[in-house]
Copies of this chain bind each other. A is one copy, B any other.
Amino acid sequence: MRKIGPHPRRSDCPIACTLDLIGDRWNLLIIRDLALGKQHFDELVESEEGIATNVLTKRLKYLCEVGLIKKLPSEDDARRVCYSLTAAGESLEGPLEAIIDWGLENVPNTRLIPAMAR
């Protein structure tokens, strides 16, 4: 992933810029999980893909900083943190669906996880 903050963008192409923002192996999976209703660190860790905790921590912080997700304390449990999508994060549903469709058609033996059935 790219260092966050004011780095020189590679170009003004919307594809390049979007890849600079979320073009790695984990960001979209975190956004997928939050879109499915997961809220907490350990729920995200338990996803099938097996993200390492240091990587998850870094990505969550990063996604907050770029405004795709937000982080709120739980009301009833001071240890708990609730992560959720911002409006910008939710708007990634379009690309996400296009990727899902492509994957289902072009990568053998892929299937939607039950929680994603539409």
Interface residue ranges, A against B (CB under 8 Å)? 2, 10-21, 23-25, 28-29, 32, 47-50, 88, 91-92, 94-107, 109-113, 116
Q: A10-B49, A94-B101 are in contact. Are A15 and B32 (CB under 8 A)?
A: yes
Tell me the complex Cα distance, A107–B112, Å. 29
B110 touches A13 (CB 8 A): yes
B14 touches A23 (CB 8 A): no
Tell me the complex Cα distance, A48–B111, Å. 37
Q: A95-B98, A107-B21 are in contact. Are A29 and B16 (CB under 8 A)?
A: yes
Q: Which residues of chain B are near A47, meaning CB under 8 Å?
A: 11
Q: Nearest chain B CB to A115's CB is how many angstroms away?
A: 10
